[in-house]
Each structure stands twice: as structure tokens, then as C-alpha cells.
Amino acid sequence: MKAGMKFAIGAVLIVGSVGYLMASGIKRTGQYFLTPSELSKKLAADPTFYDVGMKVGAYVVPGSVTREVATQTMRFQITDGSATYPVVFRGLAPDTFTDSVEVVVEGRLQKDGVIHATDVLAKCGSRYESVPKA
Amino acid sequence: MTLLGSLALWVAFLFGLWGALTGFLGGRRERGDLIASSRHAVYAMCGALFVAVVALEVALFRHDFNVEYVAAYTSRNMPVFYNWSALYAGQKGSLLFWAAVLALFGALAQALTARRHRVYLPYVGAITCVVAVFFVSVMLFGHANPFARLPYTPIDGNGLNPQLQNPGMVFHPPMLYLGYISITIPFAFAMAALLSKRLDADWLVAIRKWTLLSWLFLSIGICLGMWWAYVELGWGGYWAWDPVENASFLPWLTMTAFLHSVMVQEKRGMLKKWNLALIIGSWLLSIFGTFITRSGVISSVHSFTQSNVGYFFLVFLIVSAIVSFWVYATRLPLLQAEATLESMVSREASFLFNNLLLVGIAFSVLWGTLFPILSELVSGTKVTVGPPFFNQVNIPLGLGLLAVTGIGPLIAWRRSSGANLRRQFAVPAAAGGLTLLALLAAGMREFYPLVAIALGALVSATITQEFVRGVAARHRQYGEGWPLAFGRLIARNRRRYGGYIVHAGIVILFISFTGMAFKTETEATLRPGETATLKSPYGWTYSFTHQGVSQYAALNRQVTAATVAVARDGRRIGLMTTEKRQHVDAVGRPTFQPSTEVGIRSDLREDLYIVLAGVVDGTEQTVFRFTINPLVWWVWFGGLIVALGGLVVMWPGGGAPAVRREQAGYAVKLVAKDAG
């Protein structure tokens, strides 16, 4: 067999494994990224859409945040204007998390209608830019 | 000063246009007067942008808050030191910084390029001008002029984001920018070679050093970025596969691929098309990276405010991709390979696999970064992938790459004989195998760390063998003492042995990355006097005893500091402090969100990493997160070795000039004789 041919087989093997790793990686680790209204729509279309890993991007409803420092539990509501979901999160919130900030909540919506978050990212869309003064 | 700054921008804009015009025309018509004029235009543009940078810095240091940019990123009570870094803290200033650094690189390319490569310079100048003009026009026409004034003068400015008030931030962005921006020069040379149809081996020599320089800056920038993320962001790691991190990693991967495959072109006249595509691709990826950090199309912790500046970059990216690949396509017939692959067991083949793996990693990183957008386009629902995806894909590919790093240097060019392979592989293979057995015997069962460390041993043995043989040969041949032989070996073959030093750094990095597979973590709410314990992966137990909280005011912040006494297996090893900082303005009003100052105690084995998560109001009851991160020190050390190796390769003078292809056959024989 010619060297070029052998190399082609090796190349196909590498490209194939890259492709396989990517495809399986997306299948295993991909998460829906939804807004609250998209989540409501999904729920309406598929009433069993509970306990699915997802990320929800929305704004924190101002004044809805309650924290219990001792148990590190935080409850708040997120909204995109048309749909609102309560969130419960046990863990350390990022420095940038406050009322009315844009957040990405990673977790699962349970039957109780609450998103049980495993992670909360405060998407300070302007990390390098300062917050405009009111 | 702002008038001067704006004026300087306009002057740079006009000089840039003139330089582009005269460069293209002069190169095409081979008219000396136009070529000279284009060169002068590059120098003038560089000067004008330098004036603009100075003007902005003067405004920043003078607290001229009537300038919007100054008011947005500095304040009176900020450490003076950081006024400098406010230059690139915001969108507008960083555009200016980009353009100025690019013009500087363009001018250096004009001034430093060796005489025999001067034929490319008119096009190189023209292309740097086009890119710089783009950046200047974004400032002038995209509502991003850093010299814009406010209708009133605020008493004080907003101040710099506290997370940027870190010494790392003074060095990390400029380094990264230097890497990003200097890719334009090799790209300009590649386009110049294509446009002038001078596609012999010469252009490669001209751009290799520039690519290396850019690669070096990018490597240092990425490492500093990891360090900044680790000490400042407080989530406990140094790499999160954030889109912006990925954006800096992508051109690094393609440039690394280029730096390897370029050797195949030099020695064997193969891979010409591939190499040009890699350079063009690296540059496009750098513009792509700039685009995603500035447009907000992909959510990232790093992104600048969403703005229409992103559209400028998108259009620029698309237009440059079309133009450069069109030029590339029309020149393809001139890029025929001069040789074919003779054997799978050859250095060429191992470089090819190295390239495939690097590009494969780059592709998967790009795919993962863009997946939210792609999936939304295809299916209407955004699907995101995070660190698990990138780790799952890239750990196996990275280990494959590590294996090639160990194997490649052992295989001769063209083809290797069985006897040669046995002689070359005996020691490295034994080292890898024995390490694997030793680890298994020691009870390690984690698959990836086992493979990584065993391969690391193999690569280290390869590198050591190369050094030992080289030094021994010099010792025999010239009777040099061992240290002298070692020094001269590196000095006389900087590319080869510098490259091995880089490989050694990469091995250290790979092994230190495995440390994160063993990290342990606990969260605890402690009253003063209470203790939390955490078991280290090395088997001992750390106990952390809360000593109490203190609050005080510092220069521009209110600090809440918690102190913890740390003991290892009951023996006290010291105190650690972690802080929560609320930055305030000159009259004491809070600015920005509170930021965390992580307490870190680092030694060669592991880092203790303590985050103050919060204090229960009115008490000293404190929430901590304690993390043990093994081998983190080695990440910084490995990065340092990579940078050192890169410097050795780049160091000017000395060493043999790049082997010309006419002599390559001879060189190969020498190498083969040396090895066999």
C-alpha cells in the first residue's frame, strides 16, 4: 500500500474520531438554552418537559431575592417580561449577582414549578464596562 | 488633548488610505517612488496613532472627566497604576490600542525585514494599512471615538471595574493583544507572497519569525489570562472554556500547527497550500475573536457591552475571508508540492498527524463556541455546550497530540528503518511503560491522568535523549566540557532545541492539568473558632479554623476580611486571609458589585484556595468555600518554560540560517547519520 493511502486512512481515523467525539459530546452534554417564555411554550407542547437539564436566560425580578446566608440558599424569580419562574439555588452566588441583573440559571424545572438551579451565572453583559449610575 | 487625539486619528486614517493605495499600486507596477511613499505612510500612521494613545493617556492621568471615556473607566481615588490599563479597559480605548499596536508592528516589519525579502514589503505595508484603517474607521464612524466629550463635566468618574484592578490585568490584555495583533504581519506576508506570485521558499523564512513572535505573545497572554482568572474570579479554576478564552486559544492552535508544518515545507517542499491556509485562517480567527468579544452575539463573562461595533467586525471578517480566499484560490496552481509522502513512518507523516490533531481541536473548539448560534439557526432552539463538552472532546485529542510530541522527533525524515526505530524508541517507550506501571502499582486508577502522565514520561524521555545525544556528540567531536557542550548545542541549533524546551513546558502543562481531576472542595458556614476540614488528594487532612472578620477602609474600597488558621494533619502551617471588597467612589458611595479577593497558599504539591462567600449580617458567621487544587503551581511554571523555549527559538543571530531546500537532502543525510 502506498504511503499516501495509509496516511489517508490515518487521517480519516483522526477526523472520524474528532467527529464522533463532537457528536457524542453534544448529545451527552448539550443543554437547552431557553428564555422563560420559550420554556412555557415547550411545557405547553410537551407536558412532561420536567427534570430536563437546561439553561434559562432571563432577568431577576427586582425585589424577589431572598437569601439565607447560613444555609447558603437563595430564592428569586426570573422573567423575560411575559413569563416568570421561581428559582431556588443552594450555593455561592457570583459577586455580580444582584436584583434586576441578567442571569443564566442552570438547572432543572421540577414538578413543583420551581427551577432547581445547580448554577447561577450573573451575565453582567458589560463586565468591562461600568454600570451606569442611576 | 482630545482635539489632538481626534486629529491624530484622522491623520492616521488618511495616511493609512494613502499607504494602502500606494502599496498596492507600487507593488503591482514595481514603482520605487510609490513603494517608498507607502513605507513612509506606514511610519506616519504609526506616529499619528502613537500621538493618539499619548493623548488618551494624558487625559486619563489628568482625570479629564469631560472626556466620556475617562469618566467611564477611571476615578479620582483609583490607584494611579491602573490609569494606564484603563486605556484598554473599554471598547473604544481598546480599539485605539489595537490600531496603534498594529501600526507599530507594521512599521517594525517595514524597518526590520531583511533586504532579500523586501519585494514583499509594499503589499505588506498596504495590508497592514487596510487593517489599521478598518480599526480607525470603526472609531471614527462607529460611534467609538475614545476622545468624544460629554456635554457636562462629572465631578468624578465611574472608576475601573474592580476585577480589572489586579496587577495581572496590567500585563495580560496587552500580551494577548500583542499576540492577536501581530498575526496580521504573517498574514500580510502570506497575502503579499500570493499577490506578487513570489511563492518560493523565501516568504516562509520572512514570516516564520513573525508567526513565532505572535505565537509567543499569545502563549504568554493566555497563561496570564489563566492566572488572572484563577486569582481574581474566584471560581477555583483557571480555564472555563469561556467563548473569549476559546477565541484566544483558536489562533494559538492554528499557529502552533503552522509552526510545525512549515518545517515540512522547508525541508521537503510539501504542504504549501496547507501552510498558507493556516496563516490566513489564524488571522481570520483573530478577527473572529475580536468580533465575538465585542458584539455580544455569544454570551460570555468577558464580553464588552453589546454595540453595533460588532457589525463592523462581522462585515470586515466576511469581506476579508472572501477576498483572502479568493486570492488564495487564484494562486493555487503555483502551490504544487515538490515531493510526495514516502512513508507513514516518517517525520513528515508525524507532522501531518500533529497538524490534523491541532486543527481538529481548533475545529471542535470553534464548533462548541458557535454551537448556540448554529443550533438556533438549524432547529430554532438554542442548545449550549459547556466545559464537559470541551473536556470530553479535547482531552483524548490532546493526549493524542502529546503522544505525537513524543514520537515525532524520534522518526527520521522521509522514512525510518526498523533498526533505527528500535534504537530511537527503546528508552522513551520504556520510560512511558515503567511510569504507567509505577502509577498503577501506587494505586492510581483514573484513566486520563494515567495516560497523560505516562505519555508525559515518554515525551520527557524523548527530549532528554535528544539532549543527551546532542551533548555527547559535541563532547566527543569537539572535546567540549559537558556544560559548554550543552550551552553550545542549544545556541547552535536554537530552533530544534528551543522547540524541545517548548515541548518540555507542554509536558509540564499537561501533567499539571491532570491535577484538576483530583481537586477537592467543601463549603462551610463557620462562627469564629469553628473549624472545617478537607481531605487533600495526597492523603492528609487540612483543617481551617475561622479566626474572625475585620472590616476596614482602604484606598478606594471597603474591605471585609476573614482570617483562617490552617493546619495540615493537626500541625499549624499558617494564616490565610480572604476578602470581600466593596469599591467606593471619592465620597464613599458604593460603585460596582462587591468583588472577591481569594486567599491562596501555593506550594509545589497543591494550592489551598479560600473564597469568602459572605458574612451573615451583623455577625462574624462567615460562609467559606475551601478548595484544594493540586499542581497549579506547575501550570505557571510550565507556561514559563514554554515562553522560555519560544524565546530561545526566536533569539536573533547565531544558529544556522534556515536550511535551504537545495541543501535539505544533505541535511537529512547528516541527521540520519547522526541518528543511525
> What would the pLDDT profile of B590-624 be if each residue is shown by its tens digit?
777 778 889 999 999 999 999 998 888 778 889 89
- Position B304 scores a pLDDT of 53
pLDDT band at B238 (very low <50, low <70, confident <90, very high): very high
For residue B211, pLDDT over 80 is answered with yes
For residue A125, pLDDT over 60 is answered with no
Average pLDDT of span A36-42: 88
**pTM as predicted:** 0.90
In this structure, what are the phi and psi dihedrals at residue B384, rounded to the nearest 5 degrees? -110, 155
Distance in angstroms (rounded) separating the CA atoms of residues B536 and B627:
9
For residue A92, the 8-state DSSP code is P
CB B564 within 8 A of CB B532: no
Q: In this predicted model, what pLDDT tens digit does every residue of B46-90 receive, in sequence order?
A: 999 999 999 999 999 999 999 999 998 888 888 888 888 889 888
Check CB contact under 8 Å for B301 and A121.
Answer: yes
C-alpha distances (whole Å) from B96 to each of A98, B143, B505 are 33, 13, 34
Q: Which residue of B has its CA nearest to A69?
A: B616
Of A4, A72, A128, the CB nearest to B523: A72
User: Residue-wise over B635-648: b if at least 16 C-beta within 10 A, else e?
Assistant: bbbbbebbbebbbb
For residue B663, pLDDT over 70 is answered with no
Q: How many CB atoms lie within 10 A of CB B555?
A: 10
Distance in angstroms (rounded) separating the CA atoms of residues B241 and B101:
27
Distance in angstroms (rounded) separating the CA atoms of residues B182 and B214:
5
What length does chain A have?
134
Distance in angstroms (rounded) separating the CA atoms of residues B378 and B65:
47
Contacts of B596 (CB under 8 A, 6+ apart): A95, B234, B578, B579, B580, B581, B611, B612
Distance in angstroms (rounded) separating the CA atoms of residues B422 and B431:
14
- Position A127 scores a pLDDT of 40
pLDDT band at B117 (very low <50, low <70, confident <90, very high): confident
pLDDT band at B670 (very low <50, low <70, confident <90, very high): very low
In this structure, what are the phi and psi dihedrals at residue B349, rounded to the nearest 5 degrees? -60, -40
3-state secondary structure of B149: strand
Mutation for testing the B interface, residue in A71, A95, A97, A119 having most B CBs under 10 Å? A95
The fraction of chain A above a pLDDT of 70, given in percent, is 87
State the sign of the Cα–Cα–Cα–Cα dihedral B183, B645, B398, B248: negative
Distance in angstroms (rounded) separating the CA atoms of residues B427 and B461:
7
pLDDT band at B672 (very low <50, low <70, confident <90, very high): very low
Q: In this predicted model, what pLDDT tens digit does every residue of B136-162 receive, in sequence order?
A: 999 999 888 999 999 988 888 888 878
Distance in angstroms (rounded) separating the CA atoms of residues A122 and A93:
8
pLDDT band at B306 (very low <50, low <70, confident <90, very high): low
Check CB contact under 8 Å for B304 and A28.
Answer: no
pLDDT, mean over chain B:
89
Give the pairing of strands B531-535 and B541-554. antiparallel
Distance in angstroms (rounded) separating the CA atoms of residues A109 and A87:
9
- Position B578 scores a pLDDT of 94
Q: How many helices (H) and strands (E) does chain A have?
A: 2, 7
For residue B517, the 8-state DSSP code is G
Tell me the three cell numbers of residue B215. 505565537
Average pLDDT of span B414-442: 91
Instruction: Give the neighbor-by-neighbor strand order of the sheet with B531-535.
Output: B531-535, B541-554, B557-568, B571-583, B595-597
pLDDT band at B182 (very low <50, low <70, confident <90, very high): very high
Would an 8 Å CB–CB cutoff place B389 in contact with chain A?
yes
CA of B417 to nearest chain A CA: how many angstroms apart?
15
* DSSP string of B163-223, one letter each residue: GG-SHHHHHHHHHHHHHHHHTHHHHHHHHHHHHHT--STHHHHHHHHHHHHHHHHHHHHHH
For residue A108, pLDDT over 50 is answered with yes
Distance in angstroms (rounded) separating the CA atoms of residues B21 and B8:
20
Q: How many alpha carbons lie under 13 Å from residue B615 in its C-beta half-sphere?
A: 21
CB B595 within 8 A of CB B583: yes
- Which B-chain residues 496-515 have CB contacts (< 8 A) with chain A? none
Cell 491602573, residue located? B82
Tell me the three cell numbers of residue B314. 462581522
* DSSP string of B73-123, one letter each residue: H--TTS-THHHHHGGGTSHHHHHHHHHHHHHHHHHHHHHHS-GGGGGGHHH
Check CB contact under 8 Å for B381 and A95.
Answer: no
Distance in angstroms (rounded) separating the CA atoms of residues A27 and B495:
43
Of B304, B525, B593, the CB nearest to A96: B593
pLDDT band at B514 (very low <50, low <70, confident <90, very high): very high
H/E element, B45? helix B32-61
Distance in angstroms (rounded) separating the CA atoms of residues B316 and B310:
10
C-alpha distances (whole Å) from B661 to each of B209, B270, B275, B600 are 18, 11, 16, 52
User: Residue-wise over B615-625: b if at least 16 C-beta within 10 A, else e?
Assistant: beeeebbbbbb
Contacts of B383 (CB under 8 A, 6+ apart): A26, A30, A31, A32, A33, B371, B372, B375
Check CB contact under 8 Å for A127 and B163.
Answer: yes
The fraction of chain B above a pLDDT of 90, given in percent, is 61
C-alpha distances (whole Å) from A39 to each of A26, A116, B633 are 20, 14, 44
Check CB contact under 8 Å for B389 and A72.
Answer: no
Q: Which of B200-214, B296-310, B598-612 has the lowest mean pLDDT?
A: B296-310
Distance in angstroms (rounded) separating the CA atoms of residues B316 and B553:
47
Average pLDDT of span B196-225: 88
Q: In this predicted model, what pLDDT tens digit does every residue of A43-75 receive, in sequence order?
A: 888 888 888 888 888 888 888 888 877 677 889
- Position B560 scores a pLDDT of 92
What's the 3-state SS for B441-495? HCCCCCHHHHHHHHHHHHHHHHHHHHHHHHHHHHHHHHCCCHHHHHHHHHHHCHH
Identify the CA nearest to A103 among candidates A111, A112, A94, A90: A94
Average pLDDT of span A76-101: 82
Q: Which of B51-55, B108-112, B287-291 has the lowest mean pLDDT?
A: B287-291
- Which B-chain residues 365-384 have CB contacts (< 8 A) with chain A? 367-368, 371-372, 375, 381-384
Q: How many CB atoms lie within 10 A of CB B143?
A: 12
Query: Which residues are registered as beta bridge partners of B545?
Result: B531, B565
Q: How many CB atoms lie within 10 A of CB B116?
A: 9
| ipTM for the predicted complex | 0.80
Check CB contact under 8 Å for A69 and B525.
Answer: yes
Check CB contact under 8 Å for A28 and B341.
Answer: no
Distance in angstroms (rounded) separating the CA atoms of residues B246 and B114:
35
- Burial zone of A133 (CB within 10 Å; 0-12 exposed, 13-18 middle, 19+ buried): exposed
Distance in angstroms (rounded) separating the CA atoms of residues B409 and B416:
12
